[in-house]
Structure formats: structure tokens, C-alpha cells
């Protein structure tokens, strides 16, 4: 037992019993394994060679690891294109969402002073309670002429009321005296927002950006709804077509593939899964420490 854990034990707490500790450890290990195992398995399949797969079960450490499946994907124009689309939508969409959310959140911090801002806040909060449903939203996007455009994936979801509340709560916790001193020095609203409020809120902004980014990256339904042209599809829709509906990819260059032995499609499928998950896995560890803080500053006060 490391001494640290004993030191953190409150004096009144009895010494942990061995059977209890072991039970807890086993439970936690099982929970963690259930969470992680599927991803590790998918990763293993994606780097397995044909021989590994034919020999019944894939073990978590493939005997003959190969990147052939990934090479196959990198040669496939449709998958590459969809990845580019997803990256573009995620980056641009997150940027727009952040601008819209932070500006509105700041605008709603002083509801006592700014006439009408309380009404806007109530309008925004109302959307947490009710929403219009799929059909009216679809009709609106059609009337605005956004069908089949990337804007339809970004614009209708620019502000989430939940994220707005979180950011606003964070802004309101910035001491008013700091902002007042800037005001006395002659800084205008825009200047205060840019040079004081935003830099002080980096933690919450990181979390909100992650939420928007993950949402945009993982979204397939809006793309399914609004993009009729398969050439514009983001990677999640290609994944759905390829893995869940089992269709072969409309390869950009079929002649190139026919000449050489193909890796089993399952490895390619799993490679697409890994690629579609990769950005989240990369960003996740950097932002993880902010989660609790960011989520709770809006959800529970005090």
C-alpha cells in the first residue's frame, strides 16, 4: 500500500478490510476493461494480417501486425475526401460556435443593466425545455436554401443553450471590480471582452470547444438529413455505409486494387473506425482535467 492513500484517509475512518478492498479493485478493473476492451480489439483487428484473421480469433496483440488496411484506405479517394470534409466542418463549425456562444454569453452577463437582455436569456433557456422537432427544422433549412450545403451542418447548431449557460456562469464569476477598473481606464465593451474576459476563461472555453468539436465530428444525422450528395459526406456517414450497412466503398481507383491481394475487408472496416475515432483520442487527454470544472460550473451553483 502506498503511504499516500493512507495519509488521505480521514482519522475517523476504520482501516479498509482486505476482502472489501479486493472486491472493489476487481469491480473497478472489470468496469475499466469493459470500457476499453472493444477499442483495443478494434485496433488489433485493424492492424492484423489476413493470416491472423483466418486463424479463428484475433488476439489483442496480432502475430503479424501490418498497416496494409490503412494503406488501402489512404489510396481510397472517397474515404480521404470524407475525412477532409469532417475536419473542415469540425474546425469551421467549432470556430463559429465559439464566437456565437461566447459573445452572447458575455452579452447576457449583466441582465440588470442591459434592458432586454433578460428576455433574450429566457428565450435561450426556453429551448432547454422544448424544441420544434425534426420536420419543422428540416423545412426551415430547406427554406433558407441550405440543403446540400455544409452550412446546414454548422449554422443550425451554432449555439447550444446548455453550453451558453455554462459559459455565462463562468463569465459572471469573474470579479466585477477587475472589469470595472478596465472600464475606468477607458476600455470599451469589445476591448474588455477580448483582453480580459476571454483570457480569464480559458479553462471553460477549452471544454466548450471540445463539446462542440466532438459533436460536429461525431454527427451523422444532420449530414444524413441535409446532404443528398454522397460526394459531400463526412467520415461518419461513410463509416455507417461501409461498416454498418456492409457496402463496399465506391473506390476512386478500382484498377489499382484489383491487381494485388486485398486485406480482408474487416481489417479495413476497423481501420476506418479507428481513423474516425482518432481525433477524439488525441485531444481527449489534454482536456480531460477541465471536464468536471467546466460541466459543473454551469450545472450546479455554489
Partner 1 sequence: MARTFCRSSEGRIPRMTSVVRSESTPLGPESPTATSAELPRPRRKSLWSRVWYERGMYLFIIPGFLFFVVFRYIPLLGNVVAFQDYSPFLGVLHSQWIGLQNFVNLVTNPDVVTAIENTLIINGLQIIFFFPAPIALALLLNSILSQTVKRVIQTVVYLPYFIGWVVLVSVWQSVLGGDGLLNQTLTSHGMGPINLMSNPDLFKPMMVLQYIWKYVGWGTIIFLAAISKVDPALYESAAMDGAGSLRRMWHITLPGIRGITILLLILNLGNILTTGFEQILLQEPAVGADAGQVLDTFVYFEGIVGGQWGLAAAVGLVKGVVGSILVISANKIAHMMGEAGVF
Show contacts with partner 1 in window 69-98 (CB under 8 A).
none
Nearer to partner 1, 159 or 205 (CB): 159
Do residues 66 and 263 lie in contact, with contact meaning Cβ atoms separated by under 8 Å? yes
Give CA–CA dist 263/51, Å, rounded: 10
DSSP 252: S
Choosing from 64, 110, 180, 247, the residue that interacts with partner 1 (CB under 8 A) is 110
Report how many residues bind partner 1 under the rule CB under 8 A: 101
Give CA–CA dist 272/275, Å, rounded: 5
Q: What is the footprint of partner 1 within residues 260-299 (CB under 8 A)?
A: 266, 269-270, 273, 276-277, 280, 284-285, 288, 291-292, 295-296, 299
- In the complex, minimum distance from the CB of residue 10 to partner 1, in angstroms, rounded to a whole number: 7
Choosing from 140, 180, 247, 262, the residue that interacts with partner 1 (CB under 8 A) is 140
Q: What is the footprint of partner 1 within residues 185-204 (CB under 8 A)?
A: 188-190, 193
CA 131 to chain centre: 22
Give CA–CA dist 32/20, Å, rounded: 18
Question: Among 125, 99, 83, 128, which residue's Cα sits nearest to residue 209?
Answer: 99
162 interacts with partner 1 by CB under 8 A: no
Do residues 163 and 212 lie in contact, with contact meaning Cβ atoms separated by under 8 Å? yes
> How many CA atoms are closer than 13 Å to the CA of 274, on its beta-carbon side?
19
Choosing from 18, 61, 113, 177, the residue that interacts with partner 1 (CB under 8 A) is 113
- In the complex, minimum distance from the CB of residue 127 to partner 1, in angstroms, rounded to a whole number: 5
Question: Among 124, 110, 169, 125, which residue's Cα sits nearest to residue 294?
Answer: 169
Q: What is the footprint of partner 1 within residues 6-65 (CB under 8 A)?
A: 6, 8-10, 12-14, 16, 24, 27-28, 31-32, 34-39, 41-42, 45, 56-58
Choosing from 78, 153, 236, 249, the residue that interacts with partner 1 (CB under 8 A) is 236
Amino acid at each position: 500500500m502506498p503511504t499516500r492513500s493512507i495519509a488521505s484517509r480521514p482519522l475517523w475512518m476504520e482501516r479498509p478490510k482486505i476482502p472489501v478492498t479486493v472486491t472493489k479493485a476487481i469491480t473497478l478493473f472489470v468496469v475499466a476493461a469493459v470500457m476499453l476492451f472493444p477499442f483495443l480489439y478494434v485496433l488489433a483487428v485493424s492492424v492484423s494480417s489476413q493470416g491472423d484473421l483466418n486463424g479463428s480469433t484475433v488476439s489483442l496483440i496480432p502475430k503479424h501486425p501490418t498497416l496494409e488496411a490503412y494503406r488501402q484506405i489512404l489510396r481510397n479517394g472517397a474515404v480521404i475526401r470524407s475525412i477532409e470534409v469532417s475536419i473542415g466542418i469540425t474546425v469551421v463549425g467549432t470556430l463559429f460556435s465559439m464566437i456565437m456562444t461566447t459573445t452572447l454569453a458575455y452579452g447576457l452577463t449583466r441582465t440588470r443593466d442591459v434592458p432586454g437582455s433578460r428576455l433574450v436569456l429566457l428565450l435561450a433557456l426556453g429551448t432547454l425545455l422544448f424544441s420544434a422537432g425534426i420536420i419543422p427544422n428540416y423545412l426551415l433549412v430547406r427554406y433558407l436554401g441550405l440543403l446540400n450545403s455544409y452550412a446546414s451542418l454548422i449554422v443550425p447548431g451554432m449555439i447550444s443553450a446548455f453550453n451558453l449557460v455554462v459559459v455565462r456562469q463562468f463569465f459572471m464569476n469573474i470579479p466585477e471590480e477587475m472589469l470595472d477598473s478596465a472600464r475606468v481606464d477607458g476600455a470599451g465593451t469589445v476591448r474588455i471582452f477580448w483582453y480580459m474576459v476571454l483570457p480569464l476563461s480559458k479553462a471553460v472555453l477549452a471544454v466548450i470547444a471540445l463539446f462542440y468539436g466532438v459533436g460536429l465530428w461525431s454527427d451523422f444525422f444532420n449530414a444524413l438529413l441535409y446532404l443528398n450528395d454522397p460526394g459531400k459526406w463526412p467520415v461518419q456517414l461513410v463509416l455507417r455505409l461501409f461498416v454498418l450497412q456492409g457496402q463496399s466503398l465506391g473506390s476512386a481507383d478500382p484498377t489499382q486494387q484489383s491487381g494485388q491481394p486485398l486485406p480482408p475487408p474487416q481489417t479495413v472496416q476497423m481501420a476506418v473506425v479507428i481513423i474516425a475515432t482518432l481525433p477524439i483520442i488525441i485531444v481527449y487527454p489534454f482536456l480531460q482535467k477541465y471536464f468536471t470544472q467546466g460541466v459543473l460550473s454551469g450545472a450546479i451553483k455554489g
